[in-house]
Structure 1
Amino acid sequence: MVICLIVKYQKPIVIENTCNCIVDETELKNAIIWYSDKPVARIKKIFMQGNYPAVSIHGEKIHVHRLLMMYWLKRKLDTNEHVHHKDHNKLNALKENLEVIASSKHLSSHNKGKKLSKEHRKKIAEANRRRKVKYKKRVNIDLNELKSLLDKNWSINRISKYFGCDRSTIKNRIYEHPHLLGGEEQ
């Protein structure tokens, strides 16, 4: 039997730091509340997702350093913006250790001084070719068309198949343009 509780107001958040992330817990609590559009669970666990500490907010796993940077900037980060750890310690999410830089600059800063053999470059190129086949290309979605499909009560899965993109693309467009769900026009 599954019991679902609906939280009507935000209780004080308690952080469980299971991965020894270096973070200002007050800032993280504020960032979690800022990011969420509704109350979140009282106990929030910081866990490792890949190589970085992360928290889960309503089922969405978000790296702590990206969440904090979005909170400090009061906006979502673009896909070409990376949050760089100045001391190269992925567990250090303190404000003075983080900066936003373009993805190309970020990658070059980490690869500076490295020399790759021809064989290694071949392997990287092959991996990139295989990766391109796996993932669908970015799709420009006409917002009026998306609104008409939502008005017809199409599911996110059906809409993503219609546009030939991933579900997350559709969900992001709806998040970026909440008026698509309402009755008002923009």
Structure 2
Amino acid sequence: MWATSGKMVIYLTIKTQKPIKIINDCDALIDEVDVASAILWASKVPTPSIHHVYQYGNYAGVTVNGEKTHVHRLLLEWQMNQKLPRGMFVHHLNENKMDDRLSNLAIMVGKYHTSHHMAGAKFTQEHKAKLSEANHRRAGTKQKKRRNLPVTRIVEAYKNGSSVNSLAIRYHVDWTTIRARLDENPELLEARNGRNL
């Protein structure tokens, strides 16, 4: 503010948004016009006219409002005109994590997204132990305790005609625990030929 001869003069600075130029540093497959529009949609204030798309983890990323975000997530939020709800994930249809064209993106519920990517996966006992240990360290999660059961006795009893439910009652566990132990032992293949678990 400046005062001149009793009158107050106010100077305002008007900021206008310049067109955004996208520089693709990671060779991601993107539509630059869509990315620029999504950045403008998400920006709370006028944003720099140059934005770099870079490798952010395994995906393409961009900085908006001073925060790093994945391009695929930003694009679908812009397309939906809202933030993605918790538990919703963006899936790359062609499995290429660097292909962030809108035609390659779809929204999936978390558990279906995970099961889609994990279909057919086989884990070694060592890998299962590492996953279990990581889950135990994770704050706020409660893990079921794995019971040590006499697998050879369970196998013999099952071969001799005991049902899964009767074995579960005998060892004070859920029937799914007995079923899992039976499935983990390939020597049961012969015994299971004529029986349904």
* TM-score range relative to shorter protein: 0.5 to 0.7
Q: Distance in 2 between matches of 1:131 and 1:94?
A: 34
Code of the aligned partner of 2:92: H
Code of the aligned partner of 1:82: F
Q: Deviations over 1:30-67 (max 9, x none)?
A: 10000112111111000111111100012111100000
**1:7–1:85 distance in 2 versus 1, CA, 3 Å:** farther
| Equivalent in the alignment of 1:42 | 49
Q: Distance in 2 between matches of 1:128 and 1:86?
A: 29
Contact kept? 2:44, 2:65, Cα under 8 Å: no
Following superposition, the deviation at residue 7 of structure 1 comes to 7.9
* 1:31 pairs with one of 19, 35, 38: 38
Code of the aligned partner of 1:83: V
Could you tell me which runs of 5 or more consecutive residues in structure 2 were left unpaired when the two chains were aligned: 1-12, 141-197
Q: Distance in 2 between matches of 1:41 and 1:58?
A: 10
Aligned partner of residue 138 in structure 2, secondary structure: helix
Aligned partner of residue 79 in structure 2, secondary structure: helix
Q: Distance in 2 between matches of 1:101 and 1:29?
A: 24
Could you tell me which runs of 5 or more consecutive residues in structure 1 were left unpaired when the two chains were aligned: 1-5, 134-186
Q: Distance in 1 between matches of 2:88 and 2:114?
A: 11
| Equivalent in the alignment of 2:135 | 128
Following superposition, the deviation at residue 9 of structure 1 comes to 1.3
Paired residues, number: 129
* Runs of 4+ with deviation above 6 angstroms: none
Q: State yes or no: 1:64 paired with 2:71.
A: yes
Aligned partner of residue 37 in structure 1, secondary structure: coil
Contact kept? 2:71, 2:100, Cα under 8 Å: yes
Following superposition, the deviation at residue 10 of structure 1 comes to 0.6
What percent of counterpart residues are identical? 40
Following superposition, the deviation at residue 8 of structure 1 comes to 1.3
**1:7–1:90 distance in 2 versus 1, CA, 3 Å:** farther
Q: Distance in 1 between matches of 2:14 and 2:94?
A: 39
* C-alpha RMSD of the superposition: 1.7
Q: Distance in 2 between matches of 1:7 and 1:93?
A: 34
Q: Distance in 1 between matches of 2:21 and 2:115?
A: 38
**1:64–1:80 distance in 2 versus 1, CA, 3 Å:** same
TM-score scaled by length of structure 1: 0.66
Q: Distance in 1 between matches of 2:64 and 2:103?
A: 24
Q: Which residues in structure 2 correspond to 1:1-186 (within 5 Å)?
A: 8-132=15-139
